[in-house]
Chain A
Amino acid sequence: MPIALRGKAKAWQRRDRRTQFAIWSLWLAGTASFVFCCQFIADKTIWPFVFDAPEQVADLAVRMVPPDWTFIGVLWRPMWDTINMATLGTVMAIVLAVPIAYCAARNTTPSAAVLRPIAIFVIVSTRSINSLIWALMLVTIIGPGVLAGILAIGLRSIGFCAKLLYEAIEEIDEHQVEAVRAMGASAPQVAAYGIVPQVMPAFAGISVFRWDINIRESTVLGLVGAGGIGLPLNAAITTLAWTKVSLILLVILASVVVSEWISAKVRRAII
């Protein structure tokens, strides 16, 4: 316990001098780099536009109410496409994530030297590229449309699902696996009866959780041409039809709330 002498009395201190100094210098370095970065951002900002913002907000608020409810009939189809992109993309990601997770988990990988690093690399690289960038890439390659959106969502989700799944596989109880193996089960039987039942709840939870995130992500993929509700959103913004924009935002908000509710419900039922 760090104690300082004040005159002759001993006084309690939270930290000793060295730790205090180290923490203080970390704060100094952090603040300095923050200010340095702010300087760069400030140089690139056109300040009159920023000061103008309150008027812009007020102006837009007036233009956006009331939402144009007659437009809703056109939105069902893109909304259906959005949900399909999220769902089919999640299905695709799960199907691909299972073997990758199996190869990446330390206790199940067939070869720790070759397959595991490859699997880890696939997980990291698919996770670090945002679904919008995947969509941007796929739209230029296979053309605009729902398919590009499904693939973008799927590719982006592989890393996420595989990472959580392989962590779940690494945490299983080895005794159960050993018991199944001791009965003379082959490798596929060990996987089916020793590993799968243990990771099944985690697996279902991960899938539903990712589906919920994907609903949110697929609402914007239309901005780069990959189908869904983002297409009419983009069209409404570029034509400055703000009453339509506010309606689309309400629809998106509703779908996000509903999907979050479903996913919370399902996860509670599983766990």
Chain B
Amino acid sequence: MSVAATAPGGWRKPPVIKSAALRWAIWIGAVVYLAAAFGTTEVNWSRVWEGLPRGARFISAFLPPDFTTRSSEILEGMLESLWMTVVATAAGIVLAVPVGLGAARNVAPAPVYYLCRAFLAVSRSFQEIILAIFFVKFFGFGPFAGVVTLVVATIGFYGKLLAEDIEDVDPAQAEAVHATGAGWLQWINYGIQPQVMPRMLGLALYRLDINFRESAVVGIVGAGGIGATLDTAFNRYEFDSAAAILLIIIGLVMLMEYSSGFIRRWVQ
């Protein structure tokens, strides 16, 4: 701290962004943008006003939610979502392992590396819903299209993180295994895999959780799961059934989060 800072003017908090010009440019830019954004956003306030009682009705539908009227549809949709989650997570991770190995710079040769990286980049840039629309077109309505969607999304997510983790391994350990005369597969199995395993198990559980949440929405475009039931409930203004479905989703996600934390602690 300079001496000038303790001068009679008193101490002032140093700004986060040092350059004054950049600071002002960011402020002015933000104000101009916000003005433009609010100015061009068309909001039909009378429609919003009209909808408020409906919103109140929706909130009151949570106390108590109606689990019974549509119980068979809800149960069927939920089970379908769960089956989809399990199948897609398992298949996705199994397929993500070779892609992830291929996309790690220290394991794969250059052409394989670029091919796998390109595949990961493309599969990650589209939203699951857009993928689902196309897979429904290709494979027809039903959970199969949803499973394929989630598998592709899982490969993109898991493959990328696996590749990054492999690139960060301690080369000394891998080299030690190499020096014993291990073949390529043995090298991966004893030199690389033990180093990435704990984190990858945690990520697998996290992806299971994400896939369950996503399986709840791909149904909106016809790819199976609870989403279709939820969509129908909203469109028919059956808010109490919708509230029940939402509560079940929140409950299951919370359950998964707690149990995955528990499993992770047990593994490490």
Contact = CB atoms under 8 A, between A and B. Distances in A.
Contact of A219 (B127, B134, B214, B235): B127
A37 B51 CA distance: 41
A226 to B, nearest CB: 12
A41 B250 CA distance: 24
A4 interface: no
B24 interface: no
B44 A145 contact: yes
B90 A34 contact: yes
Instruction: Output the residue of A46, A49, A256 with the most chain B CB within 10 A.
Output: A49
- Identify which of A133, A145, A223, A252 gathers the most chain B CB atoms within 10 Å of its CB: A133
Interface string A46-69: 100110110011001000000000
A136 B40 contact: no
What's the interface size class on A, roughly?
35 or more
Given A142-B47, A147-B43, A252-B130, A33 B86 contact: yes
Interface of A: 30, 33-34, 37-38, 40-41, 44-46, 49-50, 52-53, 56-57, 60, 80-81, 84, 87-88, 124-125, 127-130, 132-133, 136-137, 140-143, 145-147, 150, 193, 197, 200, 216-217, 219-220, 223-224, 233, 237, 249, 252-253, 256-257, 260
A-side binding surface: helix, strand, loop or mixed?
Answer: helix
Contacts of A33: 86
Contact of B224 (A38, A44, A140, A224): A44
Contact of B55 (A124, A141, A220, A252): A141
A60 B44 CA distance: 38
Contact of A50 (B54, B84, B140, B216): B140
A121 to B, nearest CB: 9
A132 B129 contact: yes
Contact of A253 (B51, B126, B221, B246): B126
Given A130-B213, A233-B130, 16 more contacts: A34-B86, A34-B87, A34-B90, A41-B87, A45-B140, A46-B142, A60-B134, A84-B41, A128-B253, A132-B217, A137-B242, A145-B47, A216-B125, A220-B127, A220-B129, A224-B220
A147 B239 CA distance: 21
A128 B40 contact: no
Interface string B244-257: 00100110011001
B83 A41 contact: yes
Contact of B230 (A41, A136, A193): A136
Interface residues of B, number: 61
Given A137-B234, A142-B48, A220-B129, A53 B87 contact: no
A147 B45 CA distance: 10
22 contacts: A37-B84, A41-B83, A41-B84, A44-B142, A46-B141, A49-B139, A56-B138, A124-B250, A124-B257, A128-B213, A129-B246, A129-B249, A130-B217, A133-B216, A133-B230, A133-B246, A141-B52, A143-B47, A147-B43, A219-B130, A252-B126, A253-B125
B187 interface: no
Interface of B: 13, 16, 33, 37, 40-44, 47-48, 50-52, 54-55, 58, 79-80, 82-84, 86-87, 90, 125-127, 129-130, 133-134, 137-144, 147, 213-214, 216-217, 220-221, 224, 227, 230-231, 234-235, 237, 242, 246, 249-250, 253-254, 257
Contacts of A50: 139-140, 144
Contacts of A146: 41-43
A143 B51 contact: yes
A124 B43 contact: no
A140 B250 contact: no
A81 B43 CA distance: 12
Contacts of B44: 143, 145
Nearest to B41: A146
A253 B126 CA distance: 7
Top 9 nearest A-B pairs by Cβ distance? A49-B140, A128-B253, A143-B47, A37-B83, A45-B144, A141-B55, A142-B51, A220-B129, A37-B86
B83 to A, nearest CB: 4
A260 B160 CA distance: 15
Given A50-B139, A200-B16, A137 B129 contact: no
